[in-house]
Structure 1
Amino acid sequence: MIRPMNQTQRLRQTIEDEIVEGRLALGARLDETQLAERFGVSRTPIREALLQLAATGLVETKPRRGMVVSAPEPGHLLEMFETMAELEAACGRLAARRLTPELEVELKGALDACARAASTGDPEAYYGENYVFHTVIYRACRNDFLCGQALALHRRLSPYRRLQLRTRHRVAQSLAEHEAVVAAILASDGAAAADQLRRHVLIQGDGFSELVANLRTLDHSAA
């Protein structure tokens, strides 16, 4: 079950959407006071939201300017997705060997929730269930250190994974990939689970590195 977002999370997602959709341009200054007035909140949740966005690379601190809209270098973003793919592959491989009956129930339930969200045609609803699905696999590997590393990088890449789900047919494709992952894990086929998860994540990485490259090109041409 997805927990309701708190105020900071809602603000982070709103600002994140405006950045990835181009409504907040690269290099735009993010003034805490102005944002607080705009959203009718105190500066504290704004500051917390911006710090969370800084961890994803969408916001950075510039000397004498404060927080500004940024973006990871395309090559760095691709490297992050490559690393994410290997972490997820490792989680899937171990989950196929170590799945407990309780986590099997959770995994099947998470897949069912993804299917229900996909049927609504709402990418945001699907992303929420998609996040839960992946975290179940991380926990199912039963390696706390690996789980923690996977969760941390997943959170850093969340803006790009969310945006990618808005492309045509991607939700349906993602669901089919989830089904293949679950089938491999339930069959105790670690190699297949690892391969399915690796390809599932790398599809996104290629698309997002191209997107960020295009955004940076537009930014440089406008300078």
Structure 2
Amino acid sequence: MLFLCAESTFLYTKSKNTYAVYRMTTNTFHKLRDDIENGILTGDFAPGERLDETQLATRFGVSRTPIREALMQLNAIGLIEFRPRRGAVVADHGPKYVFEMFEVMAELEGMAGALAARRHTADDKEQLLSAHNRCQAAADNEDTDAYYYENEAFHHVIYSASQNSFLNEQCAFLHRRLRPYRRLQLRVRNRMKTSFDEHEAIIENILGGNAEATRALLLAHVKVQGDRFSDLVASLDQIRAGATKHR
């Protein structure tokens, strides 16, 4: 069982009728999970490769419990699969599949933004501006990982502001599926600054009640097509080449 609080992650595992408790800060756990994600995206863990909990625990200097929880989260977003008698195995998703997910994500976010423009509350406005300010702080520090998590919060505020709980759930689910790729996109040159500038236009139109303009802006903000998709694939190729070189 996993229990999350603002400052720490507690991982509980039952062994010999007792419960062992592992305390790990949330940021440390995120880094562990992100490092495994990066290994999958860069090809350090190849498609079809089995991910052994003991070997991963040794590699990252942690117990098997946080490794197991990280693998469960990666399974939930489709990066790995649990197979009978093999355990955790890296899933094989090619660029076309990723592109298709971004297409659907863009449409869902466009819908959420349009509804948010019509339905947002005063509390939604406050949360949106607060999330935007935190994005700015991360962007000013050129911290792509911090910006990703603040950017994630920004988008979740939009989902919530749509006042449509089903849409909120679907957006959040697909956002989790695309988390590794959205985080990687921010490492493309100037993408973080461009993302922040796009946020400003999105906020202006949501708060101005411009539903269709917000929809169009979010479609363009999320969809990876043309040069942006080429940049994403090129970034993956560059990182994979670097990982291979340093093996």
**TM-score, normalised relative to structure 1:** 0.85
What corresponds to 1:86 in structure 2? 107
Whether the aligned pair in 1 keeps the contact of 2:41 and 2:236 (CA below 8 Å) is: no
The aligned amino acid for 1:107 is: L
Q: Which whole-Å CA distance do the structure 1 matches of 2:51 and 2:193 have between them?
A: 36
Q: RCO higher in 1 or 2 (8 Å CA, sep ≥ 6)?
A: 1
How far is 1:67 from its partner?
A: 2.3
Q: Provide closer, same or farther for how the CA distance between residues 69 and 42 of structure 1 changes in structure 2, counting only shifts above 3 A.
A: same
Please state whether the residue corresponding to 2:56 is helix, strand or coil: helix
- The aligned residue for residue 176 of structure 1 is 197
User: Deviation digits for residues 101-121 of structure 1, max 9, x if unmatched?
Assistant: 111011111111111111111
Which residue in 1 is equivalent to 2:22?
Answer: none
Match of 1:189 in 2: 210
Asked if residue 162 in structure 1 is aligned to residue 183 in structure 2, the reply is yes
Would you say 1:76 and 2:128 are equivalent positions? no
Letter in structure 1 aligned against 2:104 = T
Higher strand share: 2
Answer whether contact 2:39 2:45 (CA < 8 A) is retained. yes
Displacement after TM superposition at 1:207 (Å):
4.5
Change (3 A) 1:207 1:149: farther
Q: Aligned runs of 1:1-223 on 2, under 5 Å?
A: 3-4=6-7, 5=26, 8-61=29-82, 65-203=86-224, 206-207=229-230, 210=233
Task: Give the counterpart letter for 1:83 in structure 2.
Answer: V
Residue 36 of structure 1, CA deviation: 2.0
45-54 vs 188-197, greater mean Cα deviation: 45-54
Distance 1:145 1:207, change over 3 A: farther
- Classify the secondary structure of the residue corresponding to 1:203: coil
Runs of 4+ in 1 over 6 A off after TM superposition: none
- Cα pair distance change 1:213/1:7, threshold 3 Å: closer
Higher deviation after alignment, 61-70 or 87-96:
61-70
CA–CA separation in structure 1 for the residues paired with 2:142 and 2:92: 28
Q: Is the contact between residue 42 and residue 237 of structure 2 (CA under 8 Å) also seen in structure 1? A: no
1:88 and 1:208 map into 2 onto residues whose CA distance is 22
Structure 1 residues 155-210: Cα deviation after superposition (integer angstroms, max 9, x where no partner): 11000000010010000110111111101101100000011001100037734874
Amino acid paired to 2:149: G
Paired AA for residue 154 in structure 2: F
Q: Which has the larger radius of gyration?
A: 2
Closer, same or farther: CA 7–120 of 1 in aligned 2, 3 Å: closer
Q: Percent identity?
A: 50
Q: Secondary structure at the match of 2:224?
A: helix
In structure 2, stretches of 5+ residues that fail to align are 1-5, 8-25, 242-247
Structure 2 contact 102–223 (Cα < 8 Å) conserved = yes
Contact kept, 8 Å, 1:95 with 1:137, in 2: the verdict is yes
Kindly provide the CA deviation profile for residues 14-49 of structure 1, in whole angstroms up to 9, marking residues without a partner as x: 211222234333343311111123334332321221
What amino acid is the match of 1:165?
L
Structure with greater helix percent: 1
